[in-house]
Amino acid sequence: QQLPQPPPQPPTPAPTFDCNAGFAHWQTGWSEQKKDWCCHAQGRGCGGPPPPAPPPAFDCNAGSANWAIGWSQPKKDFCCKQNGKGCQPGPVFDCNAGWGNWYAAWSVPKKAWCCQRQGKGCLTTPCPVA
């Protein structure tokens, strides 16, 4: 005697969500429902919120009232580029021009500028390069 065949299985329903669409930015681009469904159904989009952005290299508000002499050159460069703060006004000197006779030929501002930025023309030893 032959046993009756079980009824055919219904077709698998299409996924509720397309877990490939927008996957590159799932943390911020997917709804909570899509995250839950894709995580449980396909193992995609699981996890907590995205990690926080790293803190900036320098706090450009700290010491800004005295930035010209209180900030290091790397902080000035960073804050000028990132926030428009600490930008060096005034001249930019060519520290190679007149290098052979810098002590007598260079102005005091050029000596200070080149000493601080390139370690040339310093009147102290060792040169206080920032």
Tell me the pLDDT tens digit for each residue of 108-123: 888 988 888 888 999 8
- 21 neighbors 44 (Cβ within 8 angstroms): no
pLDDT of residue 4: 78
pLDDT of residue 47: 77
Q: Which two tokens stand for residue 54?
A: 């790293």
The residue type found at 51 is: P
**How far is 49 from 28, CA to CA, in rounded Å?**
8
Q: Which two tokens stand for residue 110?
A: 């050029």
- 88 neighbors 76 (Cβ within 8 angstroms): yes
Which H/E stretch holds residue 113?
A: helix 108-118
Q: Which residues contact 71 (CB under 8 A, 6 or more apart)?
A: 63, 79, 86
pLDDT in tens, the chain (130 residues): 677 777 777 766 655 789 999 988 888 899 988 988 888 888 888 876 655 777 788 999 999 888 888 999 899 888 888 887 888 776 678 899 999 999 999 998 889 888 888 889 998 765 555 5
pLDDT of residue 129: 52
Tell which residue, 46, 1, 41, has the closest CA to residue 18.
Answer: 41
pTM of the model: 0.32
